[in-house]
Structure 1
Amino acid sequence: MRVPRFSRAKESGEADRRNADQRQNHSFLTATRDEWIEGSESMSLLTSLLALRRDARLLKIPPYLSALCILVGIGWLLVLPLQEYSRNTYVSENALLPGQVHTYFTGSEHNIFRAYRHEVAELVHQPLEGRNQRLAEILRSSGLKVATQNYEYSASGRTISGQNVYAILQGPRADATEAIVLIAAWRNMDGEINHSGVALVLTLARYFKRWSLWSKDIIFLIAGDSTAGPQAWVDAYHDSHSPASIEPLSIKSGALQGAVAIDYPAGPWGHRFDKLHIVYDGINGQLPNLDLFNTAVSIASGQMGIGCTLQRMWKHDDSYQERLQTMLRGMISQGLGHASGPHSSFIPYHVDAITLQTVGDGWHDEMSLGRTVESLFRSLNNLLEHLHQSFFFYLLMQANRFVSIGTYLPSAMLIAVNFTITSIALWVQSGRPAKPPSPVSTDTEPSEAPKMTAVEKDDMVALIPEQSLAIIERELFLPLAFVGSAHFLGLLPLYIFNNTSESSLTLAFHITTFLALLLPHLTAFALSLSPHRPSAQETTLIQCLSLLLLGMFLSALATLNFSLAFLVGILATPLTFVRPTSSRPLAGLQTLLLIAVNPLVVTTLATSYWAGGDVSQLKTVLVAAAEGWHVWGLWTQVVVWLVWWPAWFAESVVVAGSLFGEPSEAKSDKA
């Protein structure tokens, strides 16, 4: 029997529809299964991440990470002297044109210089006013406007007083809007009479007056000493002085574009020198524009044939060791922040300045130095604007090799970051329950099984142990009050050392050292007896907050004074690794380590080392620090007493608390 054609077509269509429905159902089931698998994997990942919060292994990583940051930071600094990580110096400001002019300071000027040098030698034993009156007459005879300035400072119970003599040469092509300063202190930084330096300034004043090419005024300053005198003069020049102790200037010129100081302490009969020692460190680690330093080196070595050195490296063979030693000496000088010459007082006012100091025995004489100064002033005379092209932050390896801030800054930042990493780890630790959750076992009784919490995501539900999600309330009042009090407590030694008389300064230092070493133990003992004894969580938070502030301060300081931030960071690195412990021997070892890195102990050991074991030099250091505070505005003491010492004190109290029993856990069990 034949089946009609339309019946076979109908059956074929129904079969196709059934196959299509089956394929659609299969696709739907496959997609549903894939979505379910993906959701299960997502919930599994979420469960793992939430459980990881309570993994004890997580807090074992930060100490190693902090140690890695310290090692990399130190290693970063040690590779800088290599050829691949430093650069040759160069002059960025094309207008300077160093060594491109012919100098004429020679011939008859030599006789004038020798006459002035004998004049200076005769003034050595004259009273202050008579001496300065004669110097003023010599400058006035050269056709210059002359004035004097009296100053007086009080530091460590002693009075620092003197008188500056200065004269202004009005540039024939100038409009009294810009000026350059030539300085010669009566006594140099070593306390020697600057015979040839003063005589050379007097000679150059007479010589410069004869030229009509100056487009800037030139100020000749003969300061009473190398530190207080220039500081008083530049403060009064910018109207930032105290009228009670510093006399205002009767005559002024325009904005200061640069300053050069001459340190040539040859005797009355003169002395030939071998090299020029260029001193460039400013107060609080500030530096002049690198173009000024490079211009002086280019003129002295390239045009005059005078070798240049820096950081008291008299013989530099350009080896790795010599470069590293030069860089470290520069870092120590910048870290201390003291005035290294008459030029240092000008740099805080954004006046680029250097000191040219003669060293050694050679064949160069005062005429070579005079032509160097003449050529340097001719270069500064070409400037159309303030020096700004080159670097203000740098480390010098030698006279022709340097490293810029972008290369060396990460080393100090890594040291500071290690404190921040440890602080974050302590913060996480302070928010965890005292007892970690026990894992779920198949043999656990229902009544003993940990409580579970349902976590929903994308219509999926995961069961997480409730303790894994628990957040412990942090008690912040006591840690904040303690850390804040520690920083305010640092104001006491800051005031004592800057205001104690010179005769009692050494005794005050030793008493403060004894009390500073004893105070953490007394504080820990008093807290152990108090009704509100710090809990383990509060102890952890004290460490957390102190290290957090230390890391923040050092990170900010590194951009202003890299050397000070790096040195303090290295000396404070043990604070990262000390912890309260139930082991008394370990607590004792940590206490000894903290005593070794106490700021006062470090000061004593460093002074003894640099002075060759002469403990009497400690008084000299303390007097210089107090003088720096009152005269130069030195803030190295602020970093030591308000940044480094509070962090040391907080860590020492935490470790000393281990010697007086375990901290209370009363507050640590709060959920």
Structure 2
Amino acid sequence: MAEAEQVVKPKPRPIIRIGLFLISHSLFVSVICCTAGIVALLLLPALAKNTYISENALMPGSASPMLSKNDASEGHNFVNGILNLDSETTKTGIEIPELIAKHIVELGGEVNYHKFQPVSNKFHPLHFFLGPDAGVIQENYSCSSYGINTVGIIRAPRGDGKEAIVMVTPYNSVKITTGQALSLGAAYSVFSLLSRVTWLAKDIIWLAADSKHGEYAAVAAWLRDYNTLSFGDLNLYPEMCGVSTSASRKKSQVKQDTISDGFRRAGTMAAALVIKVADTSTEFEKDVLNIYAEASNGQMPNLDLINVVNYLAVHGQGLQVRVEKIWSLLDSWWLNSLGELIELLGKVATSLNPQGRFGIPVADYVEGSVTLASSLYNQALGVPTGPHGAFRDYQVDAITMEISPKFYSTERVLFLLRVGRLVEGVIRSVNNLLEKFHQSFFLYLLTSPNRFVSVGVYMIAFALLIAPLPLVAAALFSDASKTKLGKDKVPLKPAPHGESIPTFTSWKWLYAAKTVLVVHLWGAVVTLLPNFLYQIPNSSPSTNLLIWIPLSMLSLFFTYVLSGSFSFFSTSQPQRREWALLKSVTVAAAFIGLCLMSVINFATAEIGALLLVPMCLTAVPLRHDLKVNTMRALIRGACNMLLVFVGFPPIAFLLLKGASDGFGNVRFGDFWNWAETLWAWNSATYIYICMVHLPCWVLCIHTLLHQC
């Protein structure tokens, strides 16, 4: 009867049993996952797929180019006119905008000038994720301080004015180069053709951006006003520089009443192309087209736009297309050795399964790796690689096309014809779209102009790297709890069915959570310190960095004192295992920070995981390893010291810079310059370094120095 009344405990669910098994073997799982994550990252170039056009409506190359040699010749004459203006000794800075406006009016287009002031790139800690500062300098301004963009618009004969395609040609109105003049000539040739065609369904906007204050600043200023709701004219600076007013236009070479005093708009932008011509000739046998696509905080345009440009450039105009690479890695012995190993493994796999395609040649793997590293770095940096980044801030797909001619001084007409037909083909493909780009990928890494790694592939490496973090946090917390229950003899609480449940009356984990929270709040203080250091006049980057580091350490000391976190260093018996709780909460905080960063900028989270995860997982008090005094403990202690040294953000940056550019070119103040670039562009990477990576680094040192 007693046996019948005995209550049988139900078995836990399979998912719970699997979780308990993984937690109990967290060390083995951590080693396997971290190793697999690094291997998966190294295999990404071999896993890259060929690009393809996802949107059938684009139909690149389906129509023959209409741009003729006469159009290219007119563009060449336009280039000569600009260069002749630039050679004149007396200049007011408005000759080139007026010449561009005159030719646009002759083609039947609409024209307006857009005046803007230079952007002040200062440190604004509260303006992150909003793009570079949109403020303007309003003190001591003069006529020469204004930039003057010239905007031409062609209304589509088959459109309703709701969509537009933008061509951007940056040029320096103070001292224009031959390459900038050629880019204006190519855009003028295309604009001349599009003013006559009947198949246009989207308006065409030609933005001749005055880049004397920076290419990005000129484009961003125009986009800001374009997307600003306003009523009436936007003649913000009347009678200022002799431009854009009726009185001044009487003296200009443009006819009166042909240029609007207000801000002219077209439809919603479907895509944008930034056209640039390099000022130096290429050493290759063909004209080279360099594509720049990275925007702020790792944003990328739809892959279909790059695919269309690559297809038309290679198959239509015979150009050699390139994307940016880290050239210093091409000759690295370890990368070539790894490529040989992957090629050998691919041959073995192919011999076992002849129908499958495995492996990749060494040359392709090395080139794909250096391109992938460049794509990963540029996305993680969070700084746009060209003025196209200003469009991406408004969710407009845009890229920068920089063409390097084979022969710079001759065959200009043929060069303009080739570039013009390429731009015409891209515009014609985008013109076919009935909706915005959406079919292809927005999250990807390039390994070549025609090969890419999608988010579904490269996220595997990141997932494997961070997978051990929650397991280790749970295992440490469980071990610390068991230790307390054994030492402190926690009383048992009676359960409803007569059982006894241990009550965890010790809340020491709250002290660990408080320490982690305080250190992360200190990270916010470190983030704001450059706002004050930036006010020091005539200070060098090395001086600023030397002040930033001691101030950060001093603020950390006061933060610890005020919060009472130094109690963790006590040698009293009940706190001998508090480092496990501290490490548990630290690992959990690192996991949360990396996951949040992966939503904002996946590349930053990927690189951060490579540095942060091993450091957090291996951190153990050094006194513990010294007491054990075994070879394994000594190796672990040495690894901890090495990981902490490499994990310090300035050291990590200087080591990476030295590996890529040579240690002879590394200066101590380079980290300050790099950090200054991040906060000037409001890159989320700066927030991650100061408020996630650096606090976790400090907490790892806290764990290493803990009494045990």
- TM-score strictly above 0.5: yes
The superposition leaves residues 437-478 of structure 1 with CA deviations (integer Å, 9 ceiling, x where unpaired) of 89xxxxxxxxxxx99989999x9x99xxx9x95635223443
Give, in whole Å, the separation in 1 of the partners of 2:617 and 2:229.
42
**3-state SS, counterpart of residue 365 of structure 1:** helix
1:385 shift after superposition: 0.6
Partner of residue 38 from structure 2, selected from 74, 82, 107: 74
Long gaps (5+) in structure 1:
1-31, 47-52, 439-449, 664-671
**3-state SS, counterpart of residue 115 of structure 2:** strand
Give, in whole Å, the separation in 2 of the partners of 1:620 and 1:156.
18
Alignment of 1:417 onto 2:453: no
Give, in whole Å, the separation in 2 of the partners of 1:226 and 1:251.
21
Alignment of 1:214-233 (within 5 A): 214-223=200-209, 224=211, 225-233=214-222
Give, in whole Å, the separation in 2 of the partners of 1:264 and 1:348.
24
TM-score (norm 2): 0.73
Give, in whole Å, the separation in 1 of the partners of 2:548 and 2:310.
46
The aligned amino acid for 1:62 is: S
Change (3 A) 1:112 1:529: closer
1:273 shift after superposition: 5.4
2:608 paired residue number: 568
Range 342-351 or range 485-494, more displaced: 485-494
Partner of residue 235 from structure 1, selected from 205, 224, 233: 224
1:401 shift after superposition: 1.8
| Count of residues in Structure 1 that have an aligned counterpart in Structure 2 | 592
1:401 paired residue number: 451
Change (3 A) 1:619 1:116: farther
For the 8 Å contact 1:285–1:334, the answer to whether it is kept is yes
2:525 paired residue number: 492
Alignment of 1:172-183 (within 5 A): 172-183=157-168
Give, in whole Å, the separation in 1 of the partners of 2:365 and 2:657.
27
1:641 paired residue number: 690
1:511 paired residue number: 547
* Structure whose CA Rg is larger: 1
For the 8 Å contact 2:381–2:678, the answer to whether it is kept is no
Partner of residue 327 from structure 1, selected from 368, 372, 376: 372
For the 8 Å contact 1:72–1:411, the answer to whether it is kept is yes
Alignment of 1:613 onto 2:674: no
Partner of residue 438 from structure 2, selected from 388, 402, 406: 388
Partner of residue 90 from structure 1, selected from 46, 52, 65: 52
For the 8 Å contact 1:416–1:552, the answer to whether it is kept is no
Alignment of 1:318-467 (within 5 A): 319-359=364-404, 361=406, 365-434=415-484, 436=486
Change (3 A) 1:149 1:393: same
2:580 paired residue number: 540
The superposition leaves residues 127-186 of structure 1 with CA deviations (integer Å, 9 ceiling, x where unpaired) of 544443443334334332222130332124997974432222211222221011101111
Give, in whole Å, the separation in 1 of the partners of 2:74 and 2:453.
43
TM-score (norm 1): 0.77
Partner of residue 296 from structure 1, selected from 299, 309, 312: 309
**3-state SS, counterpart of residue 621 of structure 2:** coil
Alignment of 1:135 onto 2:180: no
Alignment of 1:650 onto 2:699: yes
Give, in whole Å, the separation in 2 of the partners of 1:420 and 1:161.
54
**3-state SS, counterpart of residue 275 of structure 2:** strand
Change (3 A) 1:128 1:626: farther
The aligned amino acid for 1:348 is: D
Change (3 A) 1:360 1:369: closer
Give, in whole Å, the separation in 2 of the partners of 1:519 and 1:583.
29
The root-mean-square deviation of aligned C-alpha atoms, in Å, is 4.3
Change (3 A) 1:346 1:313: same
The superposition leaves residues 472-492 of structure 1 with CA deviations (integer Å, 9 ceiling, x where unpaired) of 522344333322222222223
Give, in whole Å, the separation in 1 of the partners of 2:522 and 2:290.
42
For the 8 Å contact 1:184–1:222, the answer to whether it is kept is yes
Partner of residue 621 from structure 2, selected from 570, 580, 585: 580
Alignment of 1:278 onto 2:328: no
Give, in whole Å, the separation in 1 of the partners of 2:199 and 2:188.
19
The aligned amino acid for 2:114 is: T
For the 8 Å contact 1:607–1:618, the answer to whether it is kept is no
Give, in whole Å, the separation in 2 of the partners of 1:58 and 1:484.
28
Give, in whole Å, the separation in 2 of the partners of 1:58 and 1:267.
59
For the 8 Å contact 2:23–2:474, the answer to whether it is kept is no
Change (3 A) 1:204 1:522: same
Give, in whole Å, the separation in 1 of the partners of 2:391 and 2:674.
19
**3-state SS, counterpart of residue 453 of structure 2:** strand
The aligned amino acid for 2:524 is: L
Range 121-130 or range 230-239, more displaced: 121-130
Give, in whole Å, the separation in 1 of the partners of 2:58 and 2:266.
22
Give, in whole Å, the separation in 1 of the partners of 2:430 and 2:371.
28
1:219 shift after superposition: 0.9
Alignment of 1:593-632 (within 5 A): 593-613=643-663, 622-623=672-673, 626=676, 629-630=679-680, 632=681
Change (3 A) 1:623 1:346: farther
For the 8 Å contact 1:140–1:146, the answer to whether it is kept is no
Change (3 A) 1:644 1:128: farther
**3-state SS, counterpart of residue 472 of structure 2:** helix
Change (3 A) 1:179 1:530: closer
Identity %: 24
2:133 paired residue number: none
Change (3 A) 1:475 1:399: same
**3-state SS, counterpart of residue 120 of structure 2:** strand
Give, in whole Å, the separation in 2 of the partners of 1:545 and 1:239.
46
Give, in whole Å, the separation in 1 of the partners of 2:490 and 2:476.
27
For the 8 Å contact 2:601–2:684, the answer to whether it is kept is no
For the 8 Å contact 1:297–1:308, the answer to whether it is kept is yes
Give, in whole Å, the separation in 2 of the partners of 1:357 and 1:617.
31
